[in-house]
Amino acid sequence: MHFIKSIIISAFILASLVTPASAANTILAAGAGYKKMVNALNEAYTQKSGHSLDLIFGNMARVTTLAKQSGKVGIVLGDEAFLDNAKLPMHTKLKLGRGRLVLAFAKSSRFSKLEDLDTAGRIALPDITKAIYGKAALEYLESSGRLPAIRPRLVEVSTVPQVFSYLATNEVDLGFLNLTHALNVADKLNGYIIIDEKGYSPITIIAGILDDCDNRPQANGFIDFLKTPEAKAIIQKHGL
């Protein structure tokens, strides 16, 4: 029920973006953990081209559902495997880099090591079925032998930014984020540790133009911009 309510709210937000003033703009839907990076890319693209994309963010299940049901989304940005499984027909795909799972520590906590997973209190992670880094965190906990014993201490929330909110308000001791978001909020954490990629399925982040994109020239222009040294520098700065 909560997921259905979230989709309705997201659809309303999506509809509100498509006003007469912005009707010509391509809409890009991206994983919430990449919000700051996507905003920076869109700002640089606007400065260079004079055009701007309309942006929406959420966990990957929400992104793919909106892309399928709204008919308005022109570009999606997120985990390639998740997008492929959703069977979104794409005209073009561009690999941006590898997503990295990290374990972050609340600033006021005494924790700073991976082994603190075994002794800390509450541990936040994104939705384990709808958010790619929630799925990756669960895979890591399973591969490291911490499941099922650790499960009672796990706090599952919707998105990566919500994990950080729990860390920032000291509602949890530890939390699983992606490296991109951890870099954005590093000064508000007591540090973070990058999880060995052998512990979870590879995460390849892509941007893709959907077959039914209604502004293909602008979408192509944005994808071409992502190939420039300026855009690549922004992407690398944000941990991909």
Chain segment 74-97, per-residue pLDDT in tens: 999 999 999 999 999 998 999 999
Helix 216-226 with 35-49: angle, nearest 10 deg: 110
- Sorting pLDDT into bands at 50, 70 and 90, what band is 13? very low
Q: What is the mean pLDDT of residues 154-165?
A: 97
| Cα distance between residue 78 and residue 238, in whole Å | 14
**For residue 107, pLDDT beyond 70:** yes
Q: What is the mean pLDDT of residues 17-32?
A: 70
Is the domain covering 2-98+204-237 a CATH 3.40.50.150 domain?
no
| Residue 192 pLDDT | 98
**For residue 18, pLDDT beyond 70:** no
Predicted TM-score of the model (pTM): 0.87
Among 2-11, 59-68, 108-117, 160-169, name the one with the lowest average pLDDT: 2-11
Q: Among 134, 109, 140, which residue's Cα sits nearest to residue 122?
A: 109
Long-range contact pairs involving 148-154 (C-beta distance under 8 Å, separation at least 24): 150/117, 150/118, 150/123, 153/120, 153/121, 153/122, 153/123, 154/122, 154/123, 154/124, 154/125
pLDDT in tens, 188-216: 999 999 999 999 999 999 999 999 998 99
- Sorting pLDDT into bands at 50, 70 and 90, what band is 69? confident
Q: What is the mean pLDDT of residues 88-111?
A: 95
**For residue 61, pLDDT beyond 60:** yes
As to burial, measured by CB atoms within 10 angstroms (0-12 exposed, 13-18 middle, 19+ buried), residue 171 is middle
- Sorting pLDDT into bands at 50, 70 and 90, what band is 179? very high
CA distances from 79 to 50, 63, 86, 93, 147 (A): 28, 11, 11, 12, 24
| Residue intervals in the chain for CATH 3.40.190.10 | 2-98+204-237, 101-199
Is the domain covering 101-199 a CATH 3.20.20.70 domain?
no
Considering only the C-alpha atoms of the chain, give the largest distance between any 2 of them, rounded to a whole number of Å.
Answer: 55
| Cα distance between residue 135 and residue 140, in whole Å | 9
- Establish whether the linkage from the previous residue to 148 is cis, with ω within 30° of 0: yes
**For residue 41, pLDDT beyond 60:** yes
- Torsion over CA: 182, 183, 184, 190 (sign): positive
Q: What is the mean pLDDT of residues 160-177?
A: 97
Contact 75, 213 (CB under 8 A): yes
**For residue 43, pLDDT beyond 50:** yes
Q: What letter would DSSP give residue 127?
A: -
3-state DSSP of 63-107? HHHHHHHHCCEEEEEEEHHHHHHCCCCEEEEEEEEECCEEEEEEC
